[in-house]
Amino acid sequence: MVDQALAHEDPREGAVFRSTGTFTPPGQPVFRGFNRLGLWTLYMKEVRRFFKVQTQTIWAPAITTLLYLMIFTLALGGGGGSGAGRQVLGVNFASFVAPGLIAMGMINNSFANSSFSMLGGKIQGTIVDYLMPPISTGELLLALTGAAVTRAVLVGLAVAGAMLLWPGVSLAMAHPWAVVWFGLMGAILLALIGVLTSIWAEKFDHNAAVTNFVITPLSMLSGTFYVIDNLAPAFQAVSRMNPIFYVISGFRFGFLGRSDIGSTNTAVLHGAIGLGVLNLALAATVYFVLRSGWKLKN
């Protein structure tokens, strides 16, 4: 006979038998602590998924970005492609555009990684692999975001290595904290957007639509290849509403010690704080959407 004064947990089902003689409702998980092993397992699953095709996920973006550098340096930089021609923010054009291309490669691949995870599960019928393991919503979100950020960092290192092959490019860091902070904030921002996209999307066309009509325009119009001071005031105002602009400009500030966010280092610091607040708000939104089971649990 069950002691009605006590409650015990069924280790097989994770259900709690209470003094009333009832179990927790079906589908309602019961978590007793932080599941480090489950978090690490899912994180490594996502990392191994993109690492198995590292030629496409890590090295191909480095080659593509190097081609961007070559084309835009030859077209806009002057100096016969040596990087010694046109000066922007006090440095040659190649050194100006290189940090922006590194950051753009990082954020684009962060989005690509996280936006595929649960969408692939829904299409392939393996979404249960994300929903059934004994991990909380926060742990699930942390694993998906962490794997995307890992890919972004690896792509950034590969792109930086490729950049050093181009003559005239200098990647000496004036403010390492800005390189780390804006690089991570940009990767986390796009990773969270990617998770939200994978929840909403029902087929790969939906994912491609977000990539083509949202992510790519925001990336290309973020000041990667120019300073916004050259734009008309109205377009400068629009650019300052683009969060990726602050990622690119802040990341570039870390290398050059100069930025078009503002004329002072305080303006860069405000941009860094703003990105942090935006990521916290977006993480909370994605968490509650993920917890609700919207478009995941039917």
pLDDT tens, per residue, the chain with 298 residues: 444 443 444 444 444 444 444 566 665 666 667 889 999 999 999 999 999 999 999 999 989 988 988 888 887 765 555 555 678 888 888 889 999 999 999 999 999 999 998 998 888 888 888 888 889 999 999 999 999 999 999 999 999 998 888 888 889 999 999 999 999 999 999 999 999 999 999 999 999 999 999 999 999 889 888 888 888 888 888 888 999 999 999 999 999 998 888 767 888 999 999 999 999 999 999 999 999 989 887 6
Rounded distance between C-alpha atoms, residue 185 and residue 121, angstroms: 27
Rounded distance between C-alpha atoms, residue 240 and residue 260, angstroms: 10
Distance, C-alpha 281 to centroid of its chain: 15
And the tokens for 121?
């599960």
pTM (two decimals): 0.86
And the tokens for 12?
């097989």
Q: From residue 47, give the alpha-carbon distance in Å to each of 151, 248, 258.
A: 7, 25, 35
Q: Are 105 and 156 in contact (CB under 8 A)?
A: yes
- Residue closest to 49 by CA, chosen among 103, 133, 112: 112
And the tokens for 147?
């794997």
Task: Name the packing angle between helices 243-256 and 93-124 (round to 10°).
Answer: 140
Cite the beta strand spans of the chain per DSSP E: 8-9, 16-17, 87-88, 91-92
Rounded distance between C-alpha atoms, residue 88 and residue 236, angstroms: 17
Residue 195 is classified by DSSP as H
Q: How many CB atoms lie within 10 A of CB 231?
A: 16
- Residue closest to 249 by CA, chosen among 277, 229, 279: 229
Q: What amino acid is encoded at 6 in this protein?
A: L
Q: Residue 290: is it exposed, middle or buried by C-beta count within 10 angstroms (0-12/13-18/19+)?
A: buried
